[in-house]
Amino acid sequence: SYRKGGYHAVRVGDSFAGGRYIAQRKLGWGEFSTVWLAYDCRSSTYVALKIQKSAPQFAQAALHEIEVLSSVADGDPSNSKYVVRLVDQFKHTGPNGQHLCMVLEFLGDSLLRLIKYNRYKGLDLNKVKKICKCILIGLDYLHRELGIIHTDLKPENILLISTIDPSKDPIKSDLVPILEKPEGNPNGGITINIIEKKLKRRARRAVARISGRQDSIGGVGRSPKVERCLDGIDMRCKVVDFGNACWENKPLAEEIQTRQYRSPEVILRSGYSFSADMWSFACIAIELATGEMMFSPKAGQGYTEDEDHLALMMELLGKMPRKIAIGGASSKDYFDRHGDLKNIRRLKYCSLDRLLVNKYKFSDIDARELAEFLCPLLDFAPEKRPTAQQCLQHPWLNTMDVTQKAVKSEPNLQKVDVGMSKLQIKVGK
- The residues carrying an active-site annotation are 152
Give alpha helix (H) positions in 91-237: 111-117, 125-140, 197-210
Which of the choices ligand ATP, Mg ion, none does residue 102 contact, using the CB cut-off of 5 to 8 A by kind? none
Contact between 27 and ligand ATP per CB under 6 A: yes
Strand pairing report for 158-160 and 237-239? antiparallel
**Which residue's CB comes closest to ligand ATP?**
30
SS3 label, residue 429: coil
Contact between 240 and ligand ATP per CB under 6 A: yes
Whichever of 118 and 157 has its CB closer to Mg ion, that residue is 157
Dihedral, CA of residue 62, residue 63, residue 66 and residue 68, to nearest 10 = -110
Please pick, from the candidates 87, 104, 139, 378, the single residue that binds ligand ATP as defined by CB under 6 A. Answer: 104
Going by C-beta distance under 8 Å and a sequence separation of 6 or more, which residues neighbour residue 200?
44, 46
Contact between 28 and ligand ATP per CB under 6 A: yes
CA distances from 61 to 37, 57, 239, 266, 398 (A): 22, 6, 19, 22, 39
Which of the choices ligand ATP, Mg ion, none does residue 31 contact, using the CB cut-off of 5 to 8 A by kind? ligand ATP
Q: Is 231 exposed, middle or buried (0-12, 13-18, 19+ CB in 10 A)?
A: middle
Shortest Cβ distance from residue 152 to ligand ATP (Å)? Answer: 7
Contact between 106 and ligand ATP per CB under 6 A: yes
CA distances from 341 to 59, 296, 306, 335 (A): 42, 18, 11, 4
Q: What angle do CA 210, 211, 215 make, to 5 degrees?
A: 40
Contact between 109 and Mg ion per CB under 5 A: no
Which of the choices Mg ion, ligand ATP, none does residue 379 contact, using the CB cut-off of 5 to 8 A by kind? none
Contact between 166 and ligand ATP per CB under 6 A: no
| Region of 99-107, 240-248, 249-257, 335-343 interacting with Mg ion (CB under 5 A) | 240-248
Shortest Cβ distance from residue 349 to Mg ion (Å)? Answer: 34
Please pick, from the candidates 40, 241, 265, 366, the single residue that binds Mg ion as defined by CB under 5 A. Answer: 241
Contact between 35 and ligand ATP per CB under 6 A: yes
Please pick, from the candidates 97, 243, 328, 382, the single residue that binds Mg ion as defined by CB under 5 A. Answer: 243
Query: How far apart (Å, rounded) are the C-alpha atoms in residues 33 and 155?
Result: 19
Residues 38-57 that bind ligand ATP (CB under 6 A): 48, 50
| Region of 10-18, 236-244, 266-274, 378-386 interacting with ligand ATP (CB under 6 A) | 236-244
Query: How far apart (Å, rounded) are the C-alpha atoms in residues 141 and 207?
Result: 38
DSSP string, 62-123: HHHHHHHHHHHHHT-TT--SSB--EEEEEEEEETTEEEEEEEEE----BHHHHHHHTTTS--
CA distances from 351 to 142, 188, 339, 367 (A): 31, 32, 20, 11
Please pick, from the candidates 31, 215, 255, 410, the single residue that binds ligand ATP as defined by CB under 6 A. Answer: 31
Shortest Cβ distance from residue 381 to ligand ATP (Å)? Answer: 30
Residues 64-93 that bind ligand ATP (CB under 6 A): 84
Please pick, from the candidates 34, 52, 157, 280, the single residue that binds Mg ion as defined by CB under 5 A. Answer: 157
| Region of 7-15, 101-109, 186-194, 417-425 interacting with ligand ATP (CB under 6 A) | 101-109
Spell 303-330 as b/e; 16+ CB within 10 A means b. bbebbbbbbbbbbbbeebeeebbbbbee
Please pick, from the candidates 7, 17, 24, 33, the single residue that binds ligand ATP as defined by CB under 6 A. Answer: 33
Whichever of 107 and 388 has its CB closer to ligand ATP, that residue is 107
The contact set with ligand ATP (CB under 6 A) reads 27-28, 30-33, 35, 48, 50, 84, 104-107, 110, 156-157, 159, 240-241, 243
